[in-house]
């Protein structure tokens, strides 16, 4: 019995993945700043929309207009899909607001209905799942776990809630892509995100060679299947990500 595969929207990556992401599972995309994590998720989202798979995108890194403008750079325009309810974008920022007994977390959503509600992490998971149900989405992207983990700091309870958040989202058996920005620098504490939280992990990287940087991606893990382990090169152009599974990496 083979796995049911779902296209990443990037042919070269599909080959690396032996056909695509595994349907109904979670995949964590990690990489330093500027390695192309968001663009990788957009390929996944628009591939879905083109194949009548509805999608939900949550971004706590940037406001809706910037997301739209950045997608447009690569020729993607989600506005029609949003209007006919095949695509739902939840964007906003997490803020710390003082109250009587200390502080309270607020998510300021760009969405007109949701604006300025006091949100907790469990309610965020609930919101995403509700949105996904409403539009019958099979693909979910959470772009940027960073702001949620920043909230955690060293607070054990909140970190646990982020893990619960991921587990909650994984429960409905929708295909789930999560991105997490690795810090650069030799002492960056990247261990705050254990990889066992997801069913698979892809790492995006930059390789310095002869005065320039080459972009690479590598499948670190996919549960329960064999996969190609070597890093492959990719480029980001006006068409988004193009991966080259056959090209030789510079030494």
Contact set for a copy of itself, span 19-58 (CB under 8 A): 25, 32-34, 38-39
Name which position in 153, 172, 178, 243 contacts a copy of itself (CB under 8 A): 153
The answer to whether the CB of 243 falls within 8 A of the CB of 79 is: no
Q: Mark the segment that binds a copy of itself (CB under 8 A) among 8-16, 123-131, 134-142, 151-159.
A: 151-159
Min separation Cβ 136 and a copy of itself, Å: 21
Q: Mark the segment that binds a copy of itself (CB under 8 A) among 5-13, 110-118, 125-133, 139-147.
A: 139-147
Considering only residues 66-105, where is the footprint of a copy of itself by CB under 8 A?
Answer: 66, 69-74, 93, 95-96, 103
Considering only residues 177-196, where is the footprint of a copy of itself by CB under 8 A?
Answer: 181, 183-191, 194-196
**What does the alpha-carbon distance between residue 249 and residue 247 come to, in Å, rounded to a whole number?**
6
Name which position in 50, 123, 155, 244 contacts a copy of itself (CB under 8 A): 155
Considering only residues 156-175, where is the footprint of a copy of itself by CB under 8 A?
Answer: 156-157, 159-161, 163-164, 167
Nearer to a copy of itself, 11 or 153 (CB): 153
Q: Mark the segment that binds a copy of itself (CB under 8 A) among 8-16, 109-117, 133-141, 149-157.
A: 149-157
Nearer to a copy of itself, 81 or 201 (CB): 201
Quick one: which of 235, 232, 234 has its CA closest to 248? 232
């Amino acid at each position: 019995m083979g796995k049911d595969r779902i296209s990443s929207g990037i042919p070269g990556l599909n080959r690396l993945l032996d056909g695509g992401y595994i349907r109904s599972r979670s995949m964590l995309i990690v990489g330093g700043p500027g390695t192309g994590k968001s663009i990788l998720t957009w390929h996944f989202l628009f591939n879905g929309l083109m194949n009548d798979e509805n999608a939900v995108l949550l971004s706590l890194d940037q406001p809706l207009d910037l997301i739209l403008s950045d997608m447009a750079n690569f020729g993607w325009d989600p506005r029609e899909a949003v209007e006919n309810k095949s695509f739902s974008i939840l964007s906003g920022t997490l803020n710390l607001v003082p109250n009587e007994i200390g502080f309270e977390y607020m998510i300021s959503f760009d969405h007109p209905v949701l604006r300025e509600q006091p949100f907790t992490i469990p309610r965020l998971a609930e919101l995403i799942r509700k949105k996904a149900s409403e539009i019958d989405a099979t693909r979910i992207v959470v772009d940027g776990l960073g702001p949620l983990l920043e909230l955690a700091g060293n607070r054990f309870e909140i970190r646990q809630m982020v893990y619960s958040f991921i587990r909650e989202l994984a429960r409905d058996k929708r295909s789930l892509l999560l991105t997490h920005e690795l810090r650069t620098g030799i002492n960056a504490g990247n261990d705050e995100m254990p990889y066992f939280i997801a069913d698979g992990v892809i790492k995006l990287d930059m390789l310095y060679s002869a005065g320039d940087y080459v972009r690479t991606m590598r499948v670190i893990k996919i549960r329960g299947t064999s996969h190609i382990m070597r890093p492959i090169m990719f480029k980001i152009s006006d068409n988004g990500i193009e991966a080259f599974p056959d090209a030789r990496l510079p030494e």
